[in-house]
Chains A and B, each alone.
Chain A
Amino acid sequence: MTNKGPETGAFFQRDREWHPQAFTPWYKTSVTRSPQRALLSMDNTLSEITGPTFGHNILGEHDNDLLINFAKPGETAIGPRIIVYGRVLDERGMPVPNVLVEFWQANAGGRYRHKKEGYVAALDPNFGGCGRTITDENGFYNFRTIQPGPYPWPNGVNDWRPAHIHFSVFGHGFAQRLITQMYFEGDPMIDLCPIVKTINDPEAIRGLTAALDMQATIPMDSRAYKFDIVLRGRRSTLFENRLEGN
């Protein structure tokens, strides 16, 4: 991978029937926050093909360790200890190396560290809930955290989010920018959630569900969940117009 020059092709068209639609009234906030007019389609220009890159110099030593990155010295967050790992790939199955992955979540009781949050579950004084890392040359990432708890929210009278971790991923072009959520295999709350149900295709929901991986689990320490993330693929530029002379 390292000998290859950067890719300069446009990205594959997004399948917007696979992604959630903007207007999904059972997720109530989407009603006034969804555009009503059609999106304007255009092939990528250089503004979408290019994107920011982030070096390891932005990372602190514990940025990918939520057990300790907010904890007092010698203490750790309370909850089921887990490792989350996986690869960032593109739609061609190629690894996406050296890209920033950011994640955030509630604590083991389902409580977020945020002043607009009013859930009665207690904060954990040793848990902040944010982390980040950069994929390696093969597109792998990993981080250590506690498994978040389910969380009630004011949508329906009795709606609860499944345990989830939010992910924000950069690719190599701004058009690959993606935010999504990771769910946990076997969680009965997944099928009940209005936000999960903004996605129509059960296969797409399966793609957001991390698998328990006992082989990556560290005995007497932490269980492991595997979560691969797929970004848009790129077209080859072989026969495309080149901007010679510009």
Chain B
Amino acid sequence: MVQPLNRLKESASQTAGPYVHIGLTPNFCEIGGVYPEDLGTKMVNDKTKGERITVIGRVIDGTGTPLKDALIEIWQADADGLHNSPSETRGTADPNFVGWGRSPGNMDTGEFVFETIKPGRVPFKDGRLMAPHISFWIVARGINIGLNTRMYFGDEEKANEEDPILARIEHRVRVPTLIAPRDGNTYRFDIHLQGEKETVFFDS
């Protein structure tokens, strides 16, 4: 007889719904006075180490229409490739950089914006370095479970070629969906939920 492992099951996900901003960015949706400011809207200060960059993009549905009710969170390493997390064992990350950000899409254009820094490289499990990347998590009405993807940097061609995660994408034509082109200090990263240009999403 098989012995029971007595594990619990993860709570099932449900959509964040159209009013996710009431809970996660109340000031953005005109519920003032409850929190002094929305969490995750400011990622850098004067002392944060690293190159300042802006990440701009939209989340686009299967008809080509940008979502105007999505909420995007990002998580990334600091300029030296260290995460500001208790589970980071390789050293202490920049105390002036939490590494986490949250952005609602603009209610008219759907555009999200993050003012952040370019992350350093983080090792893969076998010690090879991954290319610089930012982890994305996308929730919205109509999305039943949050979608995970990564943004890589268009000006990191050599690092991207060596990246062990990008190397696992069998259909090479899909690799560019994860690579954001650079224009000045701005990277544009449009996320396509469905169709011809569908972004690669991860189960990790």
A132 to chain B, nearest CB (A): 8
Stretch at the interface among B44-52, B141-149, B180-188: B141-149
Closest A residue to B126 by beta carbon equals: A241
Interface size for B (C-beta < 8 A) is 85
Q: Does B79 contact A (CB under 8 A)?
A: no
Q: A19-B145, A33-B193, A45-B124 are in contact. Are A40 and B87 (CB under 8 A)?
A: no
**Cβ of A49: which chain B residues have Cβ within 8 Å of it?**
87
Per-residue A-contact encoding for B170-181, CB less than 8 Å = 1, 0 else: 000010000000
Q: Are A246 and B11 in contact (CB under 8 A)?
A: no
Cα distance, A112 to B23, chains bound together (Å): 11
On whether the beta carbons of A6 and B12 are closer than 8 Å, the reply is: no
Q: Which residues of A, 34-60, contact B by the 8 Å Cβ criterion?
A: 34-37, 39-54, 58, 60
Report yes or no: A113 in contact with B31, Cβ–Cβ below 8 A: yes
Q: Are A166 and B20 in contact (CB under 8 A)?
A: yes
Interface residues of A in 102-134 (CB under 8 A from B): 102-104, 112-117, 128-130, 132
User: In the complex the two chains form, is B12's CB within 8 Å of A19's CB?
Assistant: yes
Chain A: residues with Cβ within 8 Å of the partner, total of 93
- Given A6-B87, A21-B144, A34-B194, the answer on whether A166 and B33 have CB atoms closer than 8 Å is no
Interface membership of A138, Cβ < 8 A: no
Contact A29 B19 (CB under 8 A): no
Structural contact, B15 and A195, CB atoms closer than 8 A: yes
A179-B90 in contact given A30-B143, A47-B77, A91-B8 (Cβ < 8 Å) = no
Choose one: B12, B22, B88, B107; the contact of A104 (CB below 8 Å): B22
Are B204 and A19 interface neighbours, CB within 8 A?
A: no
From the candidates B13, B19, B123, B169, name the one contacting A179 in the complex (CB within 8 A).
Answer: B13
Return the chain B residue nearest A128 by Cβ.
Answer: B31
Among A14, A132, A204, A246, which residue has its beta carbon within 8 angstroms of that of B127? Answer: A246
From B11, B31, B150, B195, give the contact of A178 (CB < 8 A): B11
Cβ of A123 to closest chain B Cβ, rounded Å: 11
Q: How far is the CB of B40 from chain A (nearest CB, A)?
A: 8
Contact B77 A102 (CB under 8 A): no
- CB-CB < 8 A to B23: which residues of A? 102-104, 129-130, 166, 168
Residues on B with C-beta less than 8 A from A28 are: 142
Query: Given that A204-B12, A229-B11 are contacting pairs, would A117 and B19 also be in contact in the complex, using a CB cutoff of 8 Å?
Result: yes
Binds A, one of B109-117, B129-137, B154-162: B129-137
Cβ-closest 6 pairs across A and B = A104-B23, A29-B142, A50-B85, A52-B100, A33-B142, A6-B86
**6 extra interface residue pairs, beta carbon distance < 8 Å, beyond A33-B194, A207-B12:** A20-B13, A32-B61, A34-B62, A113-B31, A178-B11, A178-B13
A-B contact pairs, 19 of them (CB 8 A): A6-B87, A7-B87, A13-B203, A15-B9, A19-B144, A22-B143, A27-B144, A30-B143, A36-B194, A70-B34, A102-B23, A104-B24, A114-B29, A115-B30, A116-B107, A128-B33, A195-B14, A233-B7, A245-B127
Using CB atoms and an 8 Å cutoff, list the residues of chain A in contact with chain B: 6-8, 13-16, 18-22, 24, 27-37, 39-54, 58, 60, 63, 69-70, 89-93, 102-104, 112-117, 128-130, 132, 166, 168, 172-175, 177-181, 195-196, 198-199, 201, 203-205, 207-208, 229-233, 241, 243, 245-246
